[in-house]
Amino acid sequence: MKMSTLAASAAALALAGCLGSSAFNPDMNSAVSPDGKNEIRLYSSPLAYEVMRDGVVVVAKTEIGLKMNGKCVKEGVTKPCAVRSAKLSGFAPTSVYKKGKLDLAGNETFVDFGDWAVRLAARNDGVAYRFETKKPGIVDCEKADITLPKGVRCWFNRTWRGSLGCEETVPEFADASALATDDKKAIYLPFVYSTGVNGKTVAVVDAGLHSYPIWNFGDVEQTEGGTKLKSLFAKYPKTTEHVGGWGKETGLKKGGRWVRVKETEGFIAKAEAPRAFPWRAFALADCPSKLCAADIFYALATPAAKDADFSWVKPGKVAWDWWNAFDNKGDPQGCTTETYVRFIDFAAKTGVEYVIFDEGWSAKLNIWEYSPKVDVPYLIDYANKKGVGIILWMAWAQVYGEEEKVAEHFSKLGAKGFKVDFMDRGDAEVANFLEKFAVACAKHKMLVDYHGAYRPVGPQRTYPNVLNFEGIHGLEQLKWGKKDKDMCYNDVACFFLRMTAGPMDYTPAAMDNYKIGDYRGNTTNPGSVGTRCHQMALMALYEAPLQMLSDSPTKYEKNMECFAFMAKTPVVWDDTIGLGGCPESFAAAARKAKDGSWYAAAISNREARDFAFKTDFLGGGEWKAEIFRDAGDADENPTKYIHETKTVKTGEELSFHMAPGGGFVVRFTR
């Protein structure tokens, strides 16, 4: 059976009973991964689940539930009426991903309770469950709690409860026993933890989400069995308002920067029959460094339609204007036709595929009126003639409700895509918008970068023209930081947390690099904390099919040795392997490019450290290794680096010293 059984579209087939039968057990049913390591169990009375790896409980038995049309689906139902199973196998090609093909191997168990069901999925990289129903109606609430066993170490992010979906905070860490309810904040996903002595690592993420709010955790309850995190979902919006400026203008009928919720309904989503709800998924690994290779969240997402053509999608690098204040001239002085000609010429000369026109190309947050200083039609035509695509920034309030009109108009103008910003919500209405605009853009062959959005939860597989999502405390934050945030820890932790969910719009590649403790933020002339090699390593470590080169053409022209290497670093990959690290120390990985070359990269937190890895992944023979590593004095002079080449035999060990906030990157070629 093909991968579609893991997709939302399979709900109707499953409920109709097309899956193979399995042993009926009214009390407990499970799905076990093909390698026998991972298992998810479903208990019928009370309705609860449990997750194990190698026989070790990594999610303790936890009750779950779904309430629709004012009634709990379990009400009056004590046991399933049927249980069916399916075995999944084979591989699916990928076009925009961290691997060239997706392993489909897995096992499913469909536990049928009549009008509703629970589907279990088990793969070698994790497990998941989801509710399915064949009756339409209103989803009042879902209970999707998780119980952590004792002795667990947690890594997580929190946001304000009134801003679910705004996911741009620095990751935190704590023992599970120290977690407590914060009435003002919620934990957003991915939520990662390690079980301690046995080292099992779990990453919690929702996947395959359509017309549904994102999964968060609110209240925390310490119990005898462990630490229970209680699910929290945004309510469905009842009334909204358009907000312009930075919250100073209200009462707009359309346009502006945000569409903010004024009132909410008493429910979270609307369901049409048949309906599969989002997967509650758990990537499972024996150590944190292996999470980067997990495919489960992508595999559980709905595949693109079989007749859809996305061969036109072209990932690539982007010369970006906003972070470097329009080549360090400042806004609005640098937001002009002349400046954009400079960016386009620079991109064409250096092989960078795209230029973004960020905020300022349109007048007063109105995409239907150009800034008098920016000749947009001329610039798009100029760029296309030079082989450079233009991507247009817009706040989502400017496109909301006019998705098809916007996509069609700017496609005809010659633009190649959009960067959509300031959603900053996590309710079902936003999920509907993200999908609706992706469909409109796919129809007109336009790319999408969802900045100001929550982490990816599946659209990137359903619509491969959706290349990036933000949902991260990225480099942009250093434009206005008044003191050093722990960006080096942030960068390391995000590799294990946020990136587990999928591509992230972090926007790396700063050329002004500051010693830890010395940087205080600069809106016109920003820099980064940590070393030059730390920034260069992010280009290979971080997944972003539309990868920003955040600094200015002027600074890159002064640092062409580094820039040329970064500009050639791929943005999609043929394979991904974790090499080492954990969220509180360092991150290291290797990636195989489509041309057969390999990249290995690592970054450190605030501490200096030595790291060595074997090159078994190279697959035989001798290779040329082009290396950028921290210089001996990079702790005091973070821009200093050593660029060297050497011959490496497959299996040979390479050792590196990383300065505080340091890193290295290696390109291996035959």
Q: Which CATH class is domain 3-233+269-299?
A: mainly beta
Helix axes 532-541, 560-568, angle to 10 degrees: 10
Q: What is the DSSP string of 369-390?
A: EE-TT--HHHHHHHHHHTT-EE
Strands 216-223 and 237-244: unpaired
- Indicate left, alpha or beta for 76 from its phi (over 0: left) and psi (-120 to 50: alpha): left
- The whole-number pLDDT of residue 441 equals 98
Per-residue confidence (pLDDT) for residue 45, from 0 to 100: 92
For the record, the structure tokens of 389 come out as 């695509």
Contacts of 199 (CB under 8 A, 6+ apart): 286, 287
Domain chopping of the chain, boundaries = 3-233+269-299, 244-264+309-471, 477-515+535-545+560-670
Nearest to 652 by CA among 642, 632, 631, 666: 666
Tell me what pLDDT residue 249 has. Answer: 56
Percent of the chain past pLDDT 70, that is, above it, reads 95
Place of tokens 């199973």: 85
Question: CB-hemisphere CA count at 13 Å for 533?
Answer: 33
Torsion of CA 55, 57, 61, 67, to 10 degrees: -100
Report pLDDT for 164: 97
Token duo for residue 44? 């019928």
Query: How would DSSP label each residue in 118-177?
Result: EEEEEETTEEEEEEEESS-EEEEEEEE-EEEPSS-EEEEEEEEGGGTT---PPPEEEEGG
Neighbours of 4 (CB within 10 A): 15
- Tell me the residue type at 240: T
C-alpha dist (Å) from residue 287 to 52, 68, 198, 499, 640: 15, 39, 9, 16, 33
Let me know if the fold of 244-264+309-471 is the same as that of 477-515+535-545+560-670: yes
Cα dist. 39→55, 248, 422, 571 in Å? 8, 52, 39, 34
Give catalytic residues, as residue numbers: 421, 476
Backbone torsion region of residue 263, taken as left when φ is above 0, otherwise alpha when ψ lies between -120 and 50, otherwise beta: beta
Residues in a beta bridge with 249 = 244
**The predicted structure's pLDDT at residue 590:** 98
pLDDT tens for each residue of 430-460: 999 999 999 999 999 999 999 999 999 999 9
User: CA torsion sign, 577 to 580 to 583 to 589?
Assistant: negative
- Tell me what pLDDT residue 457 has: 98
Residue range 477-515+535-545+560-670 forms a domain whose CATH class is alpha beta
Which residue type, as a one-letter code, is found at position 150?
K
Q: What are phi and psi of 141, to 5 degrees?
A: -165, 160
- CB distance 429 to 437 below 8 Å: no
- E strand or H helix that includes residue 590: strand 586-592
Q: Name the amino acid, one letter, at 15.
A: L
- Enumerate residue ranges in the chain where pLDDT < 50: 1-19
First to last CA, the chain: 39
Domain covering 244-264+309-471 in this structure, CATH number: 3.20.20.70
* Rounded Cα gap, residues 570 and 460, in angstroms: 18
